[in-house]
Structure 1
């Protein structure tokens, strides 16, 4: 079934989303961490389009296929650093925010590796990725529908 193309019908909404994306780009978040956030969020939310886009982005920034393959089991994998684990815990808690919010343990782990500004930027990144996923899943977005 065909769904609404928000890019076409509501360009002002996309413009606002892209303004936040421009803000995130100027923040200087490590590109590997950014793509791990985007891919893992998309895996949990089931957004095939975003998984496709951001796994390609991760590879372009030097991420390995092995780590991308292991991302869904990051808790059990030895391939991720403690800093990345802190971020991935944030991702999971942000996706499932209704369950318990962001736990004190996760916040403390983030504070070991990131400044207050960095933590705020990571929270904004997680928020945006969740928003993109919800648009993508709700509209059945794919490469053919998003920007056409």
Structure 2
């Protein structure tokens, strides 16, 4: 079976891509650690089932020298000692925000993040998680898959 993309959103409606890139710029210019941002992107994409984004951000982390274990074991981050407590707090936040309709974001999750980060950083994490969730929805709805733009 040959996969084909449904819609190339960049060609059909370039303003959508430009708007999404403005969000990316806001986050990358915020000072958010790029490795942590990619972990957020991968974890949310795993939950949402966006193969395009998982592939893209895992490869980006690999190119930047991240260990294969930290990429492959992200689905079980609670069970392995290779993530810092600060990273774990953000990964938990990522899961709750991505699944916000299920349980909201409990106070203990908010408080855990604030043990390691400021309120401003917390808000940046929320926007980072919102942004990758938007990319996931765009990618899944338009039929994107790894290598679809090659």
Which of the five TM-score ranges fits, normalised by the shorter chain?
over 0.9
1:62 to 59, 62, 65: 65
Q: How does 1:44-63 map to 2 (within 5 A)?
A: 44-63=47-66
Q: 1:22 aligns with which of 21, 25, 28?
A: 25
Q: Unaligned 5+ residue runs, structure 1? A: none
| RMSD of aligned alpha carbons | 1.5
Change (3 A) 1:144 1:68: closer
Which position in structure 2 is the counterpart of 1:92? 95
Q: Which of 120, 128, 132 does residue 131 from structure 2 map onto?
A: 128
Structure 2 segments unaligned to the other structure (5+ residues)? none
How many residue pairs get matched?
147
1:71 aligns with 74
Deviation by residue 1:19-77 (Cα, 9 ceiling, x = unmatched): 11111110111111111001111111111110111001112333210111110011111
Kindly indicate whether the alpha-carbon contact (under 8 Å) linking 1:5 and 1:139 is maintained by their aligned counterparts in 2. Answer: yes
